[in-house]
């Protein structure tokens, strides 16, 4: 995977005459966060990219394009034990995220296995999942990947 974002961030930071620590201080993050962005080990979220752009007097859109070019195809996981909700949710996600690998699973155990073996950019979890629930499942997933992006969904009228 190319690291266009990290290379761009490094170049802009050096042009601005900032050390990693100085940039981290201005962004209220750790120096290692900046180092991880530059090496491609991690990527900042969109809100942080906007803050980085302000600190570096750079165009946020330029940084967003660089971040997008650095990405592999993201994995999006939908977990719902209702076949109708799963099928409908998958079609909506596939249309909304045409460049993503969208996977739907009905079982929390399958979701855990998938999460262990695949970098998941976003997990959408049903609140009610049979004997368990999305909140408990998210705790298990966050132990596997502490920085995972997780959102909750429900079709329950309650």
Could you tell me the domains of the chain? Answer: 4-69 (1.10.260.40), 75-153 (3.40.50.2300)
**Structure confidence at residue 15 (pLDDT):** 94
Question: What pLDDT is recorded for position 157?
Answer: 65
Mean pLDDT of the chain: 87
Distance (Å, rounded) from C-alpha 69 to C-alpha 75? 16
Q: SS3 sequence, 66-130?
A: HHHHCCCCCEEEEECCCHHHHHHHHHHHHHHCCCCEEEEECCHHHHHHHHHHCCEEEEEEECEEC
Is a pLDDT exceeding 80 seen at residue 138?
Answer: yes
pLDDT of 57-87, one tens digit each? 988 888 887 776 655 667 889 999 998 988 9
- What is the mean pLDDT of the segment spanning 98-106? 85
pLDDT over 70 at 112, yes or no: yes
């Amino acid at each position: 995977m190319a690291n266009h974002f990290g290379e761009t961030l490094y170049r802009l930071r050096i042009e601005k005459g900032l050390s990693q620590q100085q940039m981290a201080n201005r962004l209220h993050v750790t120096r290692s966060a900046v180092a991880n962005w530059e090496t491609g080990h991690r990527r900042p979220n969109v809100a942080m990219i906007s803050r980085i752009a302000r600190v570096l007097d750079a165009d946020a859109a330029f940084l967003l394009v660089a971040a997008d070019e650095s990405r592999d195809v993201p994995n999006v996981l939908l977990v719902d034990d209702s076949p109708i909700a799963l099928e409908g949710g998958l079609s909506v996600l596939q249309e909304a995220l045409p460049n993503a690998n969208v996977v739907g699973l009905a079982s929390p155990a399958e979701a855990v296995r998938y999460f262990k073996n695949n970098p998941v950019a976003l997990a959408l979890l049903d609140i009610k999942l049979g004997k368990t629930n999305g909140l408990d499942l998210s705790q298990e997933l966050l132990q596997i990947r502490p920085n995972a992006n997780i959102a909750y969904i429900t079709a329950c009228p309650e």
